[in-house]
Amino acid sequence: MELFNVVSVEEAKQIIDKSFNYKLRYEKINILKSVSRISFKDIKADCNIPEFKRSTVDGFAVISRDVSGASEAMPSIIELKGEVLMGKVPPADIECGECLYVPTGGMLPKSADSVVMVEYSNNLDKNTVLIYSPVAKGDNVIQVGEDIKAQDTVIKGGDKLRPYEIGVLASIGVSDLMVYKRPKVGIISTGDEVVTCNEKPSLGEVRDINTYLIWSLVVEDGFEPVSYGIIKDDYELLKSVTNKAFNECDLVLISGGSSVGTKDHTLKVIASFDDGEVLIHGIAVKPGKPTIIGKHNGKIIFGLPGHPLACSVIYKILVRNYIYSLMSQNEKNYGINAVMSINYHKAKGREEYLPVELETIDGLVVAKPVFGKSGIITAFSKAFGYIIIEKNVEGLKENQTVEVYKL
């Protein structure tokens, strides 16, 4: 029987980086359709935000030296020259000893350098205001270009467009933009024992889980899944469907058939193509050791383990990482600090992804391992996230601080 020649997770990533230079195409879309899309290129502002001096409070636009030393005992007496209306240019500029009322967000007259909050004032009459508090130059004012300066890069290529980035784009007048096309991910499930989820399995058969699991992971990440159904353990049929998926998609995922059994055809199918190349067969990771990574038509193919838990781990640590690299995606995964609830032992020599629940106990966030054999399908559904245990670490100790990454 053939044995795995395993590589580490980091080595697998390096092999992938060196072996592929596949490029995704881009498209121009309207800003209202760009939520969660990935910017294809840097976007620069062609204007200042704001384009005029704006007040951050309701109050009086003044020249700061006119109210220097103002207090309740000795207020500054300022002549009121009128009011700034929202969305309008001030009716006049001010000179020393003068002010204009300005609402929050209103435009300041050219000579004004600060705003006194209305709470620190009183109207002596309709043309005179008493100011009870000093202000420094720039107080309660947003300067021209203080938020965004013309030619600032507001979005970088590879940035994921959240509602907040879309708000920024709207502020600088961007209504259409270039984004990466959603990568098409071909999904193939294999196995004589696998039936669709709406079929009643006979004894010895199992319902297809991985098609739905992978499909959902792909959709959740904003990519486009394409399912090619369940392929029985037939070499010629699998080869034909795999070739079709390669021609129609940007990458292909085959779940099942990645081990070394007589009916595990994924390896043979990849090697059978004229330009087919098996880059990796076996990764030092738990779960997910019998993973295949290959190449055909300049595109990548992942032979994922049949067990759903292992399949989802490899998707999260390798498949997603590869797709992000296609779009130069800048998104990072940050963990949550927690303490281990128990001592946990693992074998050295392979990286482990341990699913955990989180619970707050006496003010501490506690990580509780979710135990299950490799064929158990509910471990990740019960878990909040997972802990990465490095390959040369033998385990984790009770009360040890760990980082939990959300599923």
Of 279, 302, 326, the position where a domain reaches its end is 326
Please indicate, yes or no, if residue 2 is contained in any of the structural domains: no
pLDDT (tens digit per residue) in 388-401: 999 999 999 999 99
Angle at 352 between CA 299 and CA 303, to 5 degrees: 25
Q: What percent of the chain has pLDDT over 90?
A: 86
- According to the model, what pLDDT value does residue 169 have? 98
Whether the per-residue pLDDT at 145 is higher than 60: the answer is yes
**Residue 330: which pLDDT band, with cuts at 50, 70 and 90?**
confident
Please indicate, yes or no, if residue 1 is contained in any of the structural domains: no
Whether the per-residue pLDDT at 2 is higher than 90: the answer is no
Reference 169, options 352, 4, 37; nearest CA is: 37
Whether the per-residue pLDDT at 372 is higher than 90: the answer is no
217 and 282 within one domain: yes
Whether the per-residue pLDDT at 76 is higher than 80: the answer is yes
**Residue 361: which pLDDT band, with cuts at 50, 70 and 90?**
very high
108 and 79 within one domain: yes
Average pLDDT on 53-80 reads 97
pLDDT, greater one: 3 or 288: 288
Measured distance CA(280)–CA(125) in Å, rounded: 84
pLDDT, greater one: 373 or 251: 251
Please indicate, yes or no, if residue 129 is contained in any of the structural domains: yes
Answer for the pair 144, 40: CB distance below 8 angstroms, yes or no: no
Q: Which residue has the tokens 């080869």?
A: 239
Measured distance CA(129)–CA(215) in Å, rounded: 67
Reference 403, options 337, 354, 332; nearest CA is: 337
Residue 360 identity (one-letter amino acid): T
Average pLDDT on 127-156 reads 97
Question: What domain count does the chain have?
Answer: 4
315 and 216 within one domain: yes
Measured distance CA(42)–CA(165) in Å, rounded: 13
- According to the model, what pLDDT value does residue 257 have? 66
Please indicate, yes or no, if residue 151 is contained in any of the structural domains: yes
163 and 36 within one domain: yes
Q: What is the CATH number of the domain that holds 235?
A: 3.40.980.10
- According to the model, what pLDDT value does residue 258 have? 60
pLDDT, greater one: 253 or 204: 253
Please indicate, yes or no, if residue 282 is contained in any of the structural domains: yes
Of 131, 163, 180, the position where a domain reaches its end is 180
Q: What is the CATH number of the domain that holds 61?
A: 2.170.190.11
Per-position DSSP letters for 341-358, written without gaps between them: SS-EE--TTSEEEEEEEE
- According to the model, what pLDDT value does residue 137 have? 97
Please indicate, yes or no, if residue 118 is contained in any of the structural domains: yes
- According to the model, what pLDDT value does residue 373 have? 61
Answer for the pair 286, 345: CB distance below 8 angstroms, yes or no: no
φ and ψ at residue 167, rounded to 5 degrees: -60, -40
Residue 37 identity (one-letter amino acid): R
Residue 339 pairs in a beta bridge with 366, 401
304 and 224 within one domain: yes
3-state secondary structure of 373: coil
Answer for the pair 395, 367: CB distance below 8 angstroms, yes or no: no
Whether the per-residue pLDDT at 260 is higher than 60: the answer is no
Q: Exposed e or buried b for every residue in 144-171, given b needs 16+ CB within 10 A? A: eeebbeeeeebbebbbbbeeebbebbee
Whether the per-residue pLDDT at 262 is higher than 80: the answer is no
As given in the structure block, the two tokens for residue 263 are 């009916």
Please indicate, yes or no, if residue 3 is contained in any of the structural domains: no
Measured distance CA(83)–CA(80) in Å, rounded: 8
319 and 214 within one domain: yes
271 and 215 within one domain: yes
Measured distance CA(282)–CA(4) in Å, rounded: 5
138 and 227 within one domain: no
pLDDT (tens digit per residue) in 301-321: 999 998 888 899 999 999 999
3-state secondary structure of 91: coil
220 and 132 within one domain: no
32 and 171 within one domain: yes
Whether the per-residue pLDDT at 265 is higher than 90: the answer is no
3-state secondary structure of 32: helix
**How many Å from the N-terminal Cα to the C-terminal Cα in the chain?**
35
Whether the per-residue pLDDT at 261 is higher than 60: the answer is no
* Sign of the C-alpha dihedral computed for residues 117, 118, 119 and 123 taken in this order: positive
Measured distance CA(252)–CA(249) in Å, rounded: 7
- According to the model, what pLDDT value does residue 359 have? 96
Please indicate, yes or no, if residue 346 is contained in any of the structural domains: yes
Average pLDDT on 183-193 reads 95
Q: Name the residue range of residue 43's domain.
A: 26-49+146-180
Whether the per-residue pLDDT at 294 is higher than 50: the answer is yes
- According to the model, what pLDDT value does residue 1 have? 38
Q: What is the CATH number of the domain that holds 175?
A: 3.90.105.10
Whether the per-residue pLDDT at 349 is higher than 80: the answer is yes
Which letter does DSSP use for residue 281 in this model? E
pTM over 0.75: yes
262 and 119 within one domain: no
Of 120, 154, 180, the position where a domain reaches its end is 180
pLDDT (tens digit per residue) in 95-140: 999 999 999 999 999 999 999 999 999 999 999 999 999 999 999 9
- According to the model, what pLDDT value does residue 378 have? 74
Measured distance CA(108)–CA(114) in Å, rounded: 9
pLDDT, greater one: 196 or 95: 95
204 and 97 within one domain: no
